[in-house]
């Protein structure tokens, strides 16, 4: 395992930061301490939201995580999957395969028996299984990359209109009114086809 990469998803325990940065809910004195420790010029008399805005501006662009630091000490790299894309992680397919096999064979519902079945099913996973799943994920990833231009073109063409009128009542008042004649407000609502 001279050269190896650990693929991780976005589970919170994979993403523990080396240094905990303040959040908007952090106490004001802690925000001030963070700014002072990072040599950021600030006025301690401003509000918490103003301090937090300054903190966000000065936070490191490249966040370092404990897992990355630990693995780098041993010559390993971490590859983080994009959020909400388990289909890009072959281990998810392995887990599904093992869980289905265990569920099909589990007749006692005892923890020790389930553990034994899981170990047995994991031992049946072959190098070819892994290779096939990795190839499947690579193929799917390439399909997503090829289709990215469609999403880019679509989002570039979106136009958002913002109502700059003086009151929401002008546009929505009759729809959301508290009047007893509820049909009047619903007359302007059309069903989607």
In the chain, what percentage of residues exceed pLDDT 70? Answer: 81
Query: What pLDDT, in 10s, does the model give residues 107-144?
Result: 999 999 999 999 999 999 999 999 999 999 999 999 99
Confidence band (pLDDT; 50, 70, 90) for 158? Answer: confident
Please check whether residue 16 lies inside any domain of the structure.
no
* 55 inside domain: no
Average pLDDT, the chain: 83
Q: What is the pLDDT of residues 10-61, one digit of tens each?
A: 888 888 888 888 889 999 999 999 999 888 899 999 999 999 999 888 886 5
For residue 100, pLDDT beyond 90: yes
Q: Would you say residue 117 lies in a domain?
A: yes
Beta bridge partners of 7: 79
Q: Do the domain assignments include residue 150? A: yes
- Give domain status of residue 181, yes or no: no
Domain count, the chain: 1
* pLDDT above 90 as % of the chain: 38
Range of the domain at 123: 85-158
Global pTM reads 0.52
Most confident segment among 51-60, 96-105, 151-160: 96-105
In this model, does residue 81 exceed pLDDT 70? yes
Residue 38 within a domain? no
Residue 167 has a pLDDT of 57
- Give me the residue label for tokens 């000065």: 58
Whether residue 70 is contained in a domain is answered as no
Instruction: For residues 159 and 146, give the distance between their C-alpha atoms in angstroms, rounded to a whole number.
Output: 25
Q: Please tell me which residue, 181 or 135, carries the higher pLDDT value.
A: 135
Angle at 61 between CA 58 and CA 66, to 5 degrees: 110
Contact 17, 65 (CB under 8 A): yes
């Amino acid at each position: 395992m001279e050269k190896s990469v650990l693929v991780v998803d976005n589970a919170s325990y994979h993403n523990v930061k080396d240094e905990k940065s303040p959040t908007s809910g952090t106490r004001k004195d802690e925000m001030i301490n963070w700014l002072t420790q990072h040599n950021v010029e600030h006025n301690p008399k401003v509000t918490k939201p103003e301090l937090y805005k300054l903190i966000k501006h000065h936070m490191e662009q490249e966040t370092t995580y404990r897992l990355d630091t630990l693995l780098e000490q041993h010559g390993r790299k971490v590859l983080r999957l994009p959020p909400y894309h388990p289909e890009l992680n072959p281990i998810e397919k392995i887990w599904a395969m093992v869980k289905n096999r265990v569920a099909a064979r589990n007749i006692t519902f005892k923890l020790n028996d389930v553990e034994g079945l899981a170990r047995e099913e994991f031992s049946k996973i072959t190098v070819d299984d892994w290779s096939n799943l990795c190839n499947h994920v690579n193929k799917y990833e390439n399909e997503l990359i090829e289709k990215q231009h469609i999403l880019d073109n679509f989002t570039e063409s979106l136009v958002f209109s913002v109502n700059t009128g003086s009151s929401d009542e002008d546009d929505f008042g009759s729809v959301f009114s508290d009047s007893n004649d509820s049909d009047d407000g619903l007359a302007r609502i059309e069903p989607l086809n």
